[in-house]
Structure 1
Amino acid sequence: MTDTLTRPASPAVPVRSSRRRKPRAYQIFRVVILTVVVLLFIAPLAWMLIASLKTNVDIYDASKTFLFTPTLENYDNVLSRNNYFEFIFNSFWVAFCATVLSMILGVPAAYAMSRFTMHRSALVVLMARIIPGVSLLVPWYFIFANLRLVGGYEVLILSHMFVSLPLIVYIMMSFFDSMPLELEEQAQVDGLTPIGAFRRITLPLSIAGLATSGILSFIFSWNNFMFALVLSGANTKTLPVAIFNFVSYASIDWGSLMAAAVVVTVPIMVIALFTQKYIVSGLTAGATKG
């Protein structure tokens, strides 16, 4: 009896099962797929950057795809000769004003719709997001032309707010829905008014949502082409519209066109790179409720 109890246990022989091979194969497959997807997204950006450093002759020469003499003439043509700093200011000013005004109107509206369960009003706001913008250009142009506003900053800011405002409302609604109502009730017990609780408790806790909605609204306004093409003037032309200065009936200045595209793309990429954590946290805030 004692011999059977004190007998040392035999070392377990590791059994290699097929279950350990699946995660390894899955990881390899995942790395390959992610690499392919990243390359597909990076390839156009890389070609745009490389082409912006070439002359038009080198762009059309297949033998100089990677081996060529870089030049900054295209950037000098874009920034100095064509005065693209003015277009950069126009894009920044329109995007900034549209974002700030949409935040001022959209955040309180989203809070009211969230706390008072105004689902029908939310659907009306969503309709503005669903309607194609191109269907509104002719009525907008007719109305603003009669008001003599076409070509000014005001009409561009209002047209961008038409899409930015519903975007901010829906992002902030999901964020406010995920916040516990008990925090505001406790603040009101301590003597704050409902507006005071919203200003001192709710807003500081919703920084991630505010950052997300503001960044996405700014990116939309910066990249918008259709509204600015119809409603802007010679002095209020934005960057996406100004790029078409290098496209003519007979030829296309590809080098300057790619340099202008880099000028448009780089600021947005830098903003997205440094604010990606706020965007991810804000977009996923409404996924966990309760």
Structure 2
Amino acid sequence: MSRVLEKLGLWACALLLVSPALLFFLWMISLSLKFEIDNGAYPPILIPDRFAWKNYLGVFESNSFLLYFWNSCVVTGAATLLALLVGVPAGYGIARMRADKAAIIIMIARMTPGLSFLIPMFLLFQWLGLLGTLVPQIIIHLVVTVPIVIWIMIGYFETTPVDLEEAARIDGASPWQIFLRVTLPLARPGIVVSFILALIFSWNNFVFGIVLAGRETRTLPVAVYNMLSFEQVSWGPLAAAALVVTLPVLLLTVLAQRQIVAGLTAGAVKGG
């Protein structure tokens, strides 16, 4: 009986913690499915009599959302893959060399706001003539993704056994062979969680895109922001656009939640 009460209490606490976010998300769904007259009604209407599916159709018809979706895929995909190529070997090297000072620098870079890098990077890209293209967005997104990958992989590599690496070294394997054939397969869960978290942070980034992007190189968060106007805010289309932006990351998080929890508990928590 005590275990049942303990589980019920745990579920009640969890529900209490997530209820504000859940309420806001349900209200955003309600806004996206209502006509403007229902969105301005008082008392508020949660479930309308008629669903305004045109809000979702209008997102793709009038705002070049497919182009912005492609831009987001290119920027996020390139920044995440480059972060893995740089961050996984860097995390391995820092973990094996026990370079605590380097780990502290990575932690500082992870905690530093992206705005600190934005102005000098803006001036650099302006001097290079790259403003308005996807290249500066990919490069500056590395400021967000690389520290995340390195920090998670440091903690994860610290939990992987060294005995197998020493056995491979005795057999004559080179350091790169040991890393590629022995250590990397063992670190697959950590790589998965690094990939997912880097992708989420990059996909949701707004500040870099609004400063560095041009009219044809905007990403989805910037496209949603540009739907706001000073004259009138159409809440239905705006909520529909926000849901379209959120849906890919939300689905990825739901499908990979076990890998995220396993990777964080196995490596990142210890590394922190």
> Which whole-Å CA distance do the structure 2 matches of 1:231 and 1:246 have between them?
18
Asked if 2 retains the 8 angstrom alpha-carbon contact of 1:91 and 1:238, the reply is yes
Q: CA deviation at 1:192?
A: 1.6
Q: Secondary structure at the match of 1:69?
A: coil
Unaligned runs of 5+ in 1: 1-19
Unaligned runs of 5+ in 2: none
Note the 1:81-120 alignment, pairs <5 A.
81-120=62-101
| 1:194 maps onto 2:175 in alignment | yes
User: CA, structure 1 residues 279+28, in 2 after alignment: closer, same or farther (shift >3 Å)?
Assistant: closer
Q: CA deviation at 1:153?
A: 1.0
Alignment match, 1:16: none
Alignment match, 1:6: none
Asked if 1 retains the 8 angstrom alpha-carbon contact of 2:34 and 2:48, the reply is no
Q: CA deviation at 1:258?
A: 0.3
Asked if 1 retains the 8 angstrom alpha-carbon contact of 2:210 and 2:222, the reply is yes
Q: CA deviation at 1:248?
A: 0.6
> Which whole-Å CA distance do the structure 2 matches of 1:228 and 1:184 have between them?
42
> Which whole-Å CA distance do the structure 2 matches of 1:50 and 1:24 have between them?
35
Q: CA deviation at 1:191?
A: 2.8
Q: Secondary structure at the match of 2:226?
A: helix
Compare CA radii of gyration and give the structure with the larger one: 1
Q: Secondary structure at the match of 1:62?
A: coil
Q: Match for 2:60 among 79, 84, 90?
A: 79
The one-letter amino acid of 1:235's match is: E
User: CA, structure 1 residues 118+31, in 2 after alignment: closer, same or farther (shift >3 Å)?
Assistant: closer
Alignment match, 1:137: 118
Q: Match for 1:259 among 220, 229, 240?
A: 240
> Which whole-Å CA distance do the structure 1 matches of 2:133 and 2:163 have between them?
46
Q: Identical aligned pairs, as a percentage?
A: 36
| 1:283 maps onto 2:264 in alignment | yes
Note the 1:263-274 alignment, pairs <5 A.
263-274=244-255
Alignment match, 1:215: 196
> Which whole-Å CA distance do the structure 2 matches of 1:252 and 1:54 have between them?
14
Alignment match, 1:53: 33
Asked if 2 retains the 8 angstrom alpha-carbon contact of 1:58 and 1:68, the reply is no
* Greater displacement, 176-185 / 39-48: 39-48
Asked if 1 retains the 8 angstrom alpha-carbon contact of 2:168 and 2:178, the reply is yes
User: CA, structure 1 residues 282+51, in 2 after alignment: closer, same or farther (shift >3 Å)?
Assistant: same
Asked if 1 retains the 8 angstrom alpha-carbon contact of 2:144 and 2:202, the reply is no
Asked if 1 retains the 8 angstrom alpha-carbon contact of 2:193 and 2:264, the reply is yes
RMSD: 1.7
Alignment match, 1:4: none
TM-score for both structures, normalised by structure 1: 0.88
User: CA, structure 1 residues 260+194, in 2 after alignment: closer, same or farther (shift >3 Å)?
Assistant: same
Alignment match, 1:179: 160
> Which whole-Å CA distance do the structure 1 matches of 2:11 and 2:183 have between them?
41
> Which whole-Å CA distance do the structure 2 matches of 1:175 and 1:215 have between them?
15
Number of residues of Structure 1 aligned to a counterpart in Structure 2: 269
Alignment match, 1:31: 11
> Which whole-Å CA distance do the structure 2 matches of 1:288 and 1:166 have between them?
16
Note the 1:161-172 alignment, pairs <5 A.
161-172=142-153
